[in-house]
Structure 1
Amino acid sequence: MHKTFRFAIIGSGNISRTYFQAVSKISEASVVALVSRSRTQPDFVPENIEIASTLGEIRAIFDGVILATPNGLHHEGAVDAAHLGKHVFTEKPLDITMTNMERMITACRENNVKLGVAYQHRMSPDNMTLKKLIDEGAFGRIYSADFAVRCWRDQDYYDSGEWRGTWEIDGGGPFMQQACHELDLYTWFFGLPNKVSSFTDTYGHDIKVEDHGVSIFRYDSGMTGSFIASTVAYPGFPPTLTLHTEKGSVILTNGRITGWYIQGMDNPSREPQGPIHSGAASAAVTDTIGHEVLLKDFISAIHNNSEPLIPGESAKLATELALRIYGKLEPSVG
């Protein structure tokens, strides 16, 4: 393999801009092509980048793809790339249905290519610390875990793309879109609940999906949880996780420990490397640190034939929980 890992980016929207910026900061990676169905060249794409309307039309040699298409189209790019023997890194969520996620995972496995997912909030130092402490049982019994993801999006946001606010392509409202990072953290920390009860509605937008809702979880351990996801919470607030445990309470705000009330244990919060995009008031992603970390790991996993930090099997849990919140999927049996 070429010493510089060569990516083709599929999709030319805002998140594509983020990936061009992230890859430009990685010495061992480059972008050689962009797939755009309209064959238009966005202003953030250098003139030397090849523009193609399909993956199969690309003339440049490339090693893998970055999927920057709308949620419900991820499986198309992943399956096409896998059949060409190209590794696949996808923007979150993995996809919006269990069937399409399994198609992605199977295609990559059968064609011996890697599949990585951009749930970069796991890379927050305090989120990693909390995960370690939960896995070690440091808090004793966890009584409850409550996540609130209160975002604001105006109607112009939903009108900016015909797929926005649709079941068919977006896959849902804030539970599937704005809050999927937090659903990923929730399932990473605690796994899937065995009982889910939800209330959702559309309050402030002309869209087909919910713009606000609350879901209640119950785990076999007895732990309860709640999850609020919204795009009507003006002006938008940082996501907040509150844990109540046998040893005390913890509050995380936008991936950082902001409240530590655990008996007999010092606050383990680590100095963050930089700002974390919360998405509370804007969909634009300006910091790329998390993307850079995951892309570097993805390239390393390919060179070392190891598993990426966030593989498809792990990433699919966030979508699975979103589908259960929507009542579109029954809990697994057995």
Structure 2
Amino acid sequence: MSDEQGRFGIGVVGAGMGAKPHALALQSLNKDIAVLGVYRRDAALRAQFCQTYGFPEAESYAALLADPRLDAVLVVTPPNARETIVAAAARAGKHVLLEKPVERTLAAAERIVSLADEAGIKLGVVFQHRFRRASRYLAEAVAEGRYGRLEAVHLVVPWWRPQAGYYDQPGRGTVAQDGGGVLITQAIHSLDLMLSLCGEVSAVTAMARTTRLHQMETEDFVSAGLEFANGAVGAVMATTASFPGGPESLTLNFAQATATLTAGNLTVRTMAGETITEGEASQGGGGADPMAFPFDWHAAQIADFADAVRHDRQPLSNGHTALQVHRLIDAMMVSAEEGRRVELS
């Protein structure tokens, strides 16, 4: 498969607010990746989106899947629509790249990952923070053991989302559409990056609340203590009630250095007196505009996914790695609801 020019053929399903960085990324990758069609149920909004970015429309999801040039679909719908979309792609033998989260619940996410495995298709999950230059530099350092053993972790996500214009939108912050609040909708990116660098969490003790700044069904503030499988300890604070919103920050204390990732920038201070910086100046989407970040990271992830399909390997961020962050979020919410320490099996 592929188009007439030998490019990787991809279709887009869903074209709402979250599709903008994907569209810009796909435009930048058009020498190697061809957008063969975009499907959204609202025909007028679909036409507007396609006109804006110069993509062809697909009259239906079935028509998109029937295109023999199609290698994969990029799914940018709300998480409550995922299972049937992935199942149809699997039946058609098309690979799938999903916007996070995999689904609203851990059980549904596990079903989707199993479905992809059984069909033999690649399942990528969009966690673009892994693809920042600073994140990649630190991941390489951790893999090499450059700074010694990891001892402690501190993650802060001090974001802001207004009631008007964000939580007042139908379905926003509900279990039925989003599956939860700040953890599964916003902090999931930082939690996934943390796990990719620090390894799995073995136990968690958490507190979750909805502040008086928002009227919503789900949580907008969470704090938690973490115990990692490798013996490190950690703390997490995540919120969308911190006006005007600031960059997320992940600090890793190693035996020989401290590394801090603040949005897309890394600073490492070693006990030998060296200071290392890496990254790029960028916004992180922590304020009222959730799309205030560059599309480069999305482009890098889409390119990795296409390469994984072509070379029959797992994408860097895939269904199985995504299940780790789903299990952590599930454990944090159980701990908060039941007021106890929860072990992750």
TM-score, L = length of structure 1: 0.90
DSSP-derived class of the 1:89 partner = strand
1:265 Cα offset (Å): 6.6
Of residues 327, 331, 340, the one that matches 1:324 is 331
> What is residue 49 of structure 2 aligned with on the other side?
44
Within 5 A, what are the aligned runs for 1:150-161? 150-159=158-167, 161=169
Q: Deviations over 1:2-31 (max 9, x none)?
A: 212222211120122322221111111122
1:258-273 equivalences in 2 (<5 Å): 258=267, 260-264=268-272, 266-272=274-280
Q: Identify if the C-alpha distance between structure 1 residues 13 and 152 changes in structure 2 by more than 3 Å, giving closer, same or farther.
A: same
Q: What residue is the counterpart of 1:22 in the other structure?
A: 25
Once residues 302 and 160 of structure 1 are traced to their aligned partners in structure 2, the CA distance between those partners, rounded to angstroms, is 39
Query: Shift of residue 183 of structure 1?
Result: 0.5
Instruction: Give the stretch that moved more between structures: 156-165 or 80-89.
Output: 156-165
Contact 1:142 1:245 in 2 (8 A): yes
Contact 1:96 1:319 in 2 (8 A): no
User: Which SS does the other structure have where 1:327 is aligned?
Assistant: helix
Offset of 1:60 from its aligned partner?
A: 4.7
Match for residue 291 of structure 1 among 292, 298, 318: 298
Output the CA distance in 2 between the equivalents of 1:36 and 1:160: 22
Q: How does 1:88-103 map to 2 (within 5 A)?
A: 88-103=96-111
- Give, in whole Å, the separation in 1 of the partners of 2:195 and 2:202: 12
Residues 192, 159 of structure 1: alpha-carbon distance in 2 compared, 3 angstrom cutoff: same
**1:311, CA displacement in angstroms?**
1.5
Are the equivalent residues in 2 in contact too, given 1:217–1:226 (CA < 8 A)?
yes
Displacement after TM superposition at 1:48 (Å): 6.2
Q: How does 1:104-143 map onto structure 2 within 5 Å?
A: 104-143=112-151
Task: Output the amino acid matched with 2:41.
Answer: R
Name the residue aligned to 2:170.
162
1:256 counterpart residue number = 265
* Cα gap change, 1:71 to 1:133, in 2 (>3 Å): same
The runs of 5 or more residues in structure 1 that have no matched partner are none
Residue number in structure 2 paired with 1:56: 62
1:42-83 deviations in whole A, cap 9, x for unaligned?
Answer: 43312762243x421446553211110112333332222111
CA separation in 2, counterparts of 1:290 and 1:246?
30
Deviation at 1:110, TM superposition (A): 2.3
My pick for the range that moved more, 56-65 or 148-157, is 56-65
* 1:277-331 alpha-carbon deviations (Å, 9 max, x no partner): 3434421155111111111121122222222121211122112111111118964
Letter of the 2:328 partner, please give it: L
Shift of 1:192: 2.3
Return the offset for 1:220: 4.2
Q: 1-side partners of 2:168 and 2:71: how far apart?
A: 32
- Check 1:171–1:57 CA distance in 2 against 1; reply closer, same or farther (3 A cut): same
2:156 to 148, 162, 178: 148
Question: 1:29-48: per-residue Cα shift (whole Å, max 9, x none)?
Answer: 12222222233334331276
- Which deviates more, 151-160 or 180-189? 151-160
- Report the CA distance shift for 1:139/1:278 in structure 2 as closer, same or farther (over 3 A): farther
Deviation sequence 1:130-189 (CA, Å, 0-9, x none): 223233333333331110001111012434542210112212111111111101011111
From the two aligned structures, give the one with the greater helix fraction.
2
2:221: which partner in 1? Answer: 212
TM-score (norm 2): 0.87
Structure 2 residues not aligned, in runs of 5+: none
Q: 2:269–2:276: 8 Å Cα contact kept in structure 1?
A: no
Correspondent of 2:39 among 35, 42, 59? 35
Q: Structure 2: which amino acid aligns with 1:4?
A: R
Aligned Cα root-mean-square deviation (Å): 2.3
Q: Which residue of 2 aligns with 1:187?
A: 195
Structure 2 residue matching 1:315: 3-state secondary structure: helix
Range that drifts further, 155-164 or 306-315: 155-164
Q: Which moved more, 1:218-227 or 1:39-48?
A: 39-48
Equivalent in the alignment of 2:243: 234
Q: 1:218-237, CA deviations, whole angstroms, 9 ceiling, x for partnerless residues?
A: 12444211111101100001
Distance in 2, Cα, partners of 1:244 & 1:159: 36
| Number of positions where the alignment pairs a residue of Structure 1 with one of Structure 2 | 330
The CA deviation string for residues 190-231 of structure 1, in whole angstroms up to 9 with x for no partner, is 222221111111111111001111111112444211111101
- Report the 3-state secondary structure (helix = DSSP H, G, I; strand = E; otherwise coil) of the residue aligned with 1:90: strand
Q: 2:308 aligns with which of 297, 301, 304?
A: 301
- Identify if the C-alpha distance between structure 1 residues 285 and 326 changes in structure 2 by more than 3 Å, giving closer, same or farther: same
**Structure 1's 270 and 257: CA in aligned 2 closer, same or farther, altered over 3 A?**
closer
User: In 2, distance between residues paired with 1:135 and 1:31?
Assistant: 35
